[in-house]
Amino acid sequence: MNTTQSTVFNDFLQWTRDNEWGYNGHFETNLSDGTQLTVWDSGVLVVEPAKTTDKDIVISCAVHGNETAPIEICRDIIQDIIAEKQSVIHRTLFLIANPASINVGRRFVEENMNRLFSGAHSEGGISNPERERAAKLEQYVKRFYQYVEGTNRRRYHYDLHTAIRDSKREKFAVYPFTHGKPYKKDQLLFLLACGVDTVLLNKAATTTFSYFSVNEFGADAFTVELGKVRPFGENNRDSFAAAERSLRQLIAQPEPQLPNFDPQQHFIFAEAQTINRMNQDFELNFADDVANFTAFEKGDLLATDGGEPIYAQHDAEHIIFPNAKVALGQRALLTVVRVPTESLELV
């Protein structure tokens, strides 16, 4: 390896952070078993085993730069692959999505990247580095999924996050809108193996990264909330061990080892309201330390927007991702209601 190449592969996260808005170049190396590692950009690593299976797996982190536990997990898996301590039998794309936001230790630099997918990066006549990066990430995902010929390939995308607030249900995933396609038991079981027993069902399209993969490529894709935002080094890695172990098994084994499906083990919530902040004068009617999954009763005041009240519409309506400081037009609060797992159309 030459010096630059060894810098890239010796510490992929550090090299990515050193090239925070991208690197206009290409690196590749082969492992002793013939697995090819190709770097398409900073933070973009393709792992291709010598023998191709029918699965294409995307694992992304750092769409929000201060959500460090997923970054630590991806960093460690990537370095173990490079050191030949972690085997990979399926094509896998790792994405460290927004390195510049890691470097400033914030959710984003100029604009929330997880509102920029499915082409939103090109709307509104605004240009900034996060929009350019989101557009490139879309192209990398497209190139990765479409690289191998064949219509029956199984596509997956786990977009790893941590949440700003405490949560009464610590780990949960967002199941993006499937446009009526049935939900999948094996995916609920895989999430459960990751320690995620709670799943929120979106009822409409969004501009998140996971919805992009669902909608454009028919992937089984999820936003996976693994815990709470903490600075590097302050994550309790024990709490993330099940997720890391399951992701490692996912890429290393023909099929994940999953138990039989038991509806009682899954806690499913359907979207009730998505409340977007439409006015500067937007206030939540509860304190900053009220946790995700706190339940409100029908008629309770949740927020005011431009002085207009917004109420809970159901009993036991749970609040998720409250954030009064989001940009105008963006989601300031999601609310969900529990639904029986048995009520889902599952395959």
Ligand X SMILES: O=C(O)CCC(=O)N[C@@H](CCC(=O)O)C(=O)O
Strand-pair partners of 158: 59, 222
Binding residues vs Zn ion (CB under 5 A):
64, 67, 161
DSSP codes joined into one string, 142-208 = HHHHHSS--S--EEEEEEEEEESS-BSS-SEEEE---TTPPB-HHHHHHHHHTT--EEEE--S---S
Contacts (Cβ under 8 Å, ≥6 apart) of 34: 49, 50
CA distance 301 to 287: 13
Residue 97: CB minimum distance to ligand X, A: 11
Residue with smaller CB distance to ligand X, 13 or 199:
199
Q: Which of 20, 130, 225, 244 is catalytic?
A: 225
Strand-pair partners of 339: 268
Map residues 207-236 to x or -, x wherever contact with ligand X holds by CB under 6 A: -x-x------------x-------------
Q: Does 66 bind ligand X (CB under 6 A)?
A: no
CA distance 56 to 54: 7
Strand-pair partners of 296: 317
- Chosen from ligand X, Zn ion, none, partner binding at 240 (C-beta under 5 to 8 Å by type): none
Q: Does 97 bind ligand X (CB under 6 A)?
A: no
CA distance 346 to 248: 26
Q: Does 174 bind ligand X (CB under 6 A)?
A: yes
The single residue among 7, 52, 80, 164 that binds ligand X, judged by CB under 6 A, is 164
Q: Does 330 bind ligand X (CB under 6 A)?
A: no
Tell me whether residue 225 is one of the annotated catalytic residues.
yes
Q: Does 136 bind ligand X (CB under 6 A)?
A: no
Residue 64: CB minimum distance to Zn ion, A: 4
Token look-up 């009763």 returns 297
Q: Is 266 annotated as a binding residue?
A: no
Token look-up 């300031």 returns 332
Stretch that binds ligand X, among 80-88, 116-124, 159-167, 298-306 (CB under 6 A): 159-167
Chain residues in the site for ligand X (CB under 6 A) = 64, 114, 161, 163-165, 174, 208, 210, 223, 321, 323
**Which segments are annotated as binding site?**
64, 67, 161
Give catalytic residue positions: 225
